Copies of this chain bind each other. A is one copy, B any other.
């Protein structure tokens, strides 16, 4: 999912995935696609409220659940007590900087030979999150 995408194209994308593109849904999905900073429900709601003054958090919750159900959004869990959402596609890892709190994406590859203890298990999802200090915060010292 590219960041630059017209509302019309987003609407088509939603339809293709079985989501009727209401105004709220379009705006929420547009936000997810344009803001790859893994927002929380609250962040999304606060950001959209100026544009959609009647938007309720319930609708944000409903909409995100729907997106997840349709497979176009992913819920990532780094800390407890803060769900974060991601207009998901390919599997990728998340790096949280302990200084600036930013969450960065990264690509990973894990070979079967690098894992032991769950031989014979069927693995459907691989989630990785790392924590540490990002390059920017390191260079600021």
Binding site for B on A (CB under 8 A): 75, 77-83, 92-93, 95, 97-98, 104-111, 114-135, 138
Copies of this chain = 2
Residue contact A95 to B121, C-beta cutoff 8 Å: yes
Residue contact A130 to B107, C-beta cutoff 8 Å: no
- Report the minimum CB–CB distance from A78 to chain B (whole Å): 7
The A interface, classified by DSSP as helix, strand, loop or mixed, is: strand
Which of B77, B104, B114, B117 meets A118, CB within 8 Å?
Answer: B104
Residues of chain B within 8 A of A119, CB atoms compared: 135
Residue contact A133 to B121, C-beta cutoff 8 Å: yes
Q: Can you name 20 extra interface pairs (CB under 8 A) apart from A127-B129, A128-B128?
A: A80-B81, A81-B81, A92-B117, A98-B124, A107-B117, A108-B110, A109-B115, A110-B110, A110-B114, A119-B135, A120-B135, A121-B130, A121-B135, A122-B138, A123-B131, A123-B132, A124-B131, A126-B128, A127-B128, A127-B130
